Chain A
Amino acid sequence: MRRSGPRALFAAIALAITGAVQAGDSITLASTTSTEASGLFDHIVPKFREATGIHVRVVAVGTGQAFEIGRRGDADVLLVHDTAAEEAFVSDGYAAERRHVMSNDFVLVGPADDPADVAGADSALDAFRRIADGEHPFTSRGDDSGTHRAERNLWHDAGIQPRGRWYRELGSGMGGTLNTAAAMDAYTYADRATWTAFGNRQNLTLLFDGDDVMFNQYGSLLLDGDRHPHVKHDKARQWHEWLLSDQGQEAIASFRLRGQQLFFPNDATPPEP
Chain B
Amino acid sequence: MDNAFQAAFRLIAERDPVLVEIVTLSLQVSLTAVLIASAIALPLGAAIALWQFPGRGLLIVILNAFMGLPPVVAGLMVYLMLSRAGPLGELGLLFTPTAMVIAQVVLILPIVAALSRQVIEELWGEYREQLQSLGVSRLGAIPTLLWDARFSLTTVVLAGFGRASAEVGAVLIVGGNISGVTRVMTTSIALETNRGNLPLALGLGIILLVLVATVNAVAYMVGESARRRLG
Contacts and interface: CB of A to CB of B under 8 A. Distances in A.
Interface of A: 1-2, 5, 8-9, 11-12, 15-16, 18-20, 22-23, 28, 33, 36-37, 41-42, 57-61, 71-74, 173-176, 178-179, 197-201, 228, 230
Contact of A199 (B85, B95, B179, B197): B197
Across chains A and B, which 8 residue pairs bring their CB atoms closest together, nearest first? A175-B194, A200-B196, A59-B176, A19-B96, A73-B84, A8-B35, A199-B196, A198-B196
B85 A19 contact: no
Contacts of B85: 71-74
A179 B13 CA distance: 29
A174 B198 contact: no
A74 B173 CA distance: 12
B92 A5 contact: no
A8 B39 contact: yes
Given A8-B35, A15-B32, A23 B96 contact: yes
B35 A200 contact: no
Interface string B83-117: 11110010111111111010000000000000000
Interface of B: 28, 32, 35-36, 39, 83-86, 89, 91-99, 101, 143, 146-147, 150, 176-179, 181, 191, 193-198
A58 B39 contact: no
A135 B92 CA distance: 49
B95 A74 contact: yes
A199 B92 CA distance: 36
A33 B191 CA distance: 9
Contacts, number: 106
Contact of B92 (A33, A72, A230): A230
8 contacts: A9-B36, A16-B101, A41-B179, A57-B178, A61-B176, A71-B85, A173-B194, A179-B196
A144 to B, nearest CB: 16
B46 to A, nearest CB: 13
A176 B84 contact: no
A15 B98 contact: yes
A251 to B, nearest CB: 17
Nearest to A8: B35
Nearest to B196: A200
Contacts of A12: 32, 35-36, 101
A41 to B, nearest CB: 8
A42 B179 contact: yes
A97 B195 CA distance: 32
B93 to A, nearest CB: 7
A60 B175 CA distance: 11
Contact of A176 (B28, B96, B193): B193
Nearest to B29: A15
Given A9-B39, A74-B84, A179-B196, A19 B93 contact: yes
B162 to A, nearest CB: 18
A58 to B, nearest CB: 6
A230 B91 CA distance: 11
Contacts of A72: 83-86
A197 B196 CA distance: 8
A198 B200 CA distance: 13
Identify which of B86, B150, B191, B196 gathers the most chain A CB atoms within 10 Å of its CB.
B196
B39 A22 contact: no
Contact of B181 (A22, A176, A198): A22
A178 B196 contact: yes
Contact of A20 (B93, B150, B178, B196): B93
A197 B219 CA distance: 41
B193 A179 contact: yes
Contacts of A2: 143, 146-147
Contacts of A74: 83-85, 94-95
B96 A20 contact: yes
A58 B83 contact: no
Given A1-B150, A73-B85, A58 B98 contact: no
A165 B98 CA distance: 44
Given A12-B35, A19-B97, A230-B84, 5 more contacts: A8-B35, A9-B35, A12-B101, A176-B194, A197-B195
A162 to B, nearest CB: 24
B10 to A, nearest CB: 16
